[in-house]
Amino acid sequence: CAHPSAKPESAVSPYACQRRTTLDNHNKIFTDALEVLAENLELCGNQGPSLAFRRAASMLKSLPAALRRLEETQHLPCLGEHSRAIIEVQHEPRPSLSVSTHISSHLSCSAPAEALINTLSHRFLFYEDISKPVSRTEASALKIIVEEAVICVNPSATVSITGGFRRGKEFGHDVDFIIKTPEAGQEDVILPAVIKRFKSQNILLYSDLQESTFDLRKLPTHCFEAMDHFSKCFLIIKLKREQETDARAGKDWRAVRVDLVAPPLERFTYALLGWTGSTLFLRDLRRFARLERGKLLDNHALYDKATNTFLPAKTEEDIFAHLGLEYIEPWQRNA
Ligand code: CTP
Ligand code: MN
Ligand code: MN
Ligand code: MN
């Protein structure tokens, strides 16, 4: 039979870690609407419904082509009643006046703005700058700055870009770096030294250093941990502009958010995977490991509950293999 809808649907997995999600999104009109909603719900403290919309958007991003007819959603996972309603509204020829009020009417929104403003207030001075996306060119310029500082402190250390830029994104809200130190213990001293160097170079606008609370003897064996215990810092760095684009302001730099993490060498692979994201990809990878494989994955380790052992991994490929998953490249993890 030649009719496309009669053909068995090539199954889309409900787990993001079993889908290849590149930046080539053929369903942007739907995913944008779903993500705006998810964001609003998140700010209102509705984490559950927000996640449901994020999952729906993420699934649509992995599709090889645009949805043409609503019936095509029938065999797709991760779509609840509300997500289908959004897709339906977006499908209509007239401009959808208010997709979000449609949903907001179902879900209460308490005032969360105050908490958000509090979080941002200490960065307020640079808020305008850091709310502007960081380009790949700016990320590369920052890599040189971070690398120079790291190598100056420890010539045997190396710096890799992680986060969205490792997944091939052209823009990010920050730039994430992971530092590899070949000697044990170095991971605990490198970040304070790098911060000190940025200070002396007069390019540090803000720093929040979180010292390592990692303890190899206390690796989790009952549930994975959402936050890792590695030495890390959240920085705001002055980045010189290539050209004076804002001559009126007379400011030849912009403020950029930078995250640095320095795990112990034997934890590097798990940390790299975790910090590469995307957040939703990692969330599903962990969920898949736990529910489908009886294994616990976090930024520190991969633990097999059946054998009560930690599974070693030299590369990210090793971790996917332990989980019985096809390897998904970083640029296919944009779930
Ligand atoms: N991450 C983490 N632990 C932290 C902070 C971040 O494991 N303490 C992970 C996040 O879960 C995410 C990745 O690091 O998977 C990158 O985080 P983030 O910079 O927030 O997102 P990006 O994917 O880089 O997106 P953007 O371009 O907006 O920065
Ligand atoms: Mn394509
Ligand atoms: Mn990032
Ligand atoms: Mn980050």
Question: Is residue 275 within 8 Å of residue 178, measured between CB atoms?
Answer: yes
330 CB within 6 A, ligand 1: no
Is residue 24 annotated as a catalytic residue, yes or no? Answer: no
Domains of the chain: 11-115 (1.10.150.110), 122-270 (3.30.460.10), 279-332 (3.30.210.10)
In this structure, the residue with its CA closest to atom 4 of ligand 1 is 227
d(CA 64, CA 8): 16
- Given ligand 1 and candidates 17, 167, 176, 178, which is best to mutate, with the most ligand atoms within 8 Å of its CB? 176
Q: pLDDT digits over 46-105, tens only?
A: 999 999 999 999 999 999 999 998 899 999 999 999 999 989 877 776 544 455 455 544
ipTM associated with this complex: 0.96
Cα torsion through 277, 279, 284, 285, rounded to 10: 30
Q: What is the pLDDT of residues 291-315, one digit of tens each?
A: 999 999 999 999 999 999 999 999 9
Mean pLDDT, to the nearest integer, of 21-34?
A: 96
Q: Are 297 and 224 in contact (CB under 8 A)?
A: yes
The answer to whether the beta carbons of residues 78 and 59 sit under 8 Å apart is yes
Which is more confident, 325 or 101? 325
